[in-house]
Amino acid sequence: MGKQSRRKRERQPGETKVHRYLARAGLPDQPDPGPYRRLAAADPEWFDQVVVADDFSLLLSRKRDAEPGAILAATRTRYGLLYRDLDTALAEYASRPVMIAAAWLRWWFRHHPPATRLLDIGCGPGVLTCAYGLALPEAEVVGIDAVPEAVACAEELADRLGVRNVSFVTGDFLDPTVGGDGFDQVVAVTALADAGLYPQDPPEGSDALSSVADVDGPGPEFRSADADRLAGRLSPGGSLLVLDRTPDPSQAVRLGAALLHAGVDLDLGRAGVELFVEGGQPTTFTRFAGVRSGAPATLDRTLRGEELAAWIKCVPPPAFGPEWHDELRFEALKADGARLVWGCELNYSPTLERREIWEHDGKVYGWITTTGSFRELATGRSPEELWNEYGAYAGRCAAKGVQVRFHDPA
């Protein structure tokens, strides 16, 4: 079997559709920062403004007490710059969010319920809205975005693609008077954190333990009037599909809890976690899907909240947190040609631990993994330090009777 046909076979369902759609929209399959970098180089003043606006938005998203008006103003400034015209918007999209869009569409093509009226919340330049319109030719598809430049880009993209069943509204999606209601599908992809719907700040102390404490503690109780408004857009029995930034498990719990309290019966079997590398940094996203039950939004959903926290904890490791991120950094180094120079395997039975030293581009990296979820990438150390630490540890273990096997990288 040739390489090509094997690759074709390995494609997941929906992949071909996504690939074709992205090509039609003028987007690559994999992130391509080239065009965006060239735009930045051609207009450094504009790019400086983008960087300042990005940083400011990030700062606000981490503040529990940020003023909603300030969040919206920052959103308008930031996306007004990024979406100054469709080519800029698509270049920025190609440089980062294209992987998020591709993963989301792969999932959506496979799992979306039928819809006659679909609302795309925070539609940005309309890349996803147009895909929904093409996939549901009989449906009325509406995109809403607070930024007029986003809506102008989205309208132009729909024109370019010849999608006739989509329309766009400029306005704050948290304002129920804008954009209508009675939708049987509401989709929000990477929009809710941007709108400040749930706090993005890591819990106090920001270590793995306090994060789990937040999952057990106030996380499942988290409510948001904005989530209630969002659910209010749905007709009873309508579906809400969400993918959003949740770098810490407690944020996933807050988002899920807000949706549960808003009267959306989450189907945890369809929820999931995705990880993307953005600007060199791995970031975790959580996907929720549920149906508006029609129950009053004030219904006490504490029990489901506990179920949600339990679900988050059961996401297979290392799905959230530093372990998973370290794993990705390590994978990136390996893909970039890092070389194993030393390693050993410790058998604590039933757990195995590996300690390795890798070299790349004149730097060394320590890499510790266990058959459990532990992953640790040590950077910024000298070869001697790592060698002494790992070697001495292996020696102490061996002296205590632990089976130690050394790799021979040759």
Residues that bind ligand SAM (CB under 6 A): 72, 75, 79, 97, 101, 122-124, 127-128, 144-147, 150, 172-174, 189-191, 194-195
Q: How far is the CB of 286 from ligand SAM (least distance, A)?
A: 15
Strands 183-189 and 117-121, bridge-based pairing: parallel
- Nearest CA to 243 out of 138, 128, 76, 327 is that of 128
Amino acid letter at 305? G
**Nearer of residues 123 and 161 to ligand SAM, judged by Cβ:** 123
Distance of alpha carbon 179 from alpha carbon 122, whole angstroms: 11
Sign of CA dihedral 256, 174, 108, 86: negative
| Least Å from the CB of residue 98 to ligand SAM | 9
Nearer to ligand SAM, 151 or 257 (CB): 151
| Minimum gap (Å) between residue 145 Cβ and ligand SAM | 4
308 contacts: CB under 8 Å, gap ≥ 6? 220, 253, 256, 257, 260, 266, 268
Closer by beta carbon to ligand SAM, 61 or else 369: 61
Let me know: does 370 contact 353? Beta carbons within 8 Å.
yes
User: Token pair of 205, please?
Assistant: 């102390």
User: In the complex with ligand SAM, which residue's Cβ is closer, 171 or 317?
Assistant: 171
- The nearest distance, CB 69 to ligand SAM, in angstroms, is 11
Name the residue nearer to ligand SAM (CB basis): 124 or 220.
124
Q: How far is the CB of 223 from ligand SAM (least distance, A)?
A: 18
CB nearer ligand SAM, residue 225 or residue 398? 225
Nearest-approach distance from CB 349 to ligand SAM, in angstroms: 47
Q: How far is the CB of 137 from ligand SAM (least distance, A)?
A: 20
If the CB atoms of residues 154 and 377 are measured against ligand SAM, the closer one turns out to be 154
* Shortest CB 51 distance to ligand SAM, Å: 16
Residue 168 vs 173, nearer CB to ligand SAM: 173
Vertex 291 angle, CA 286 and 295, to 5°: 120
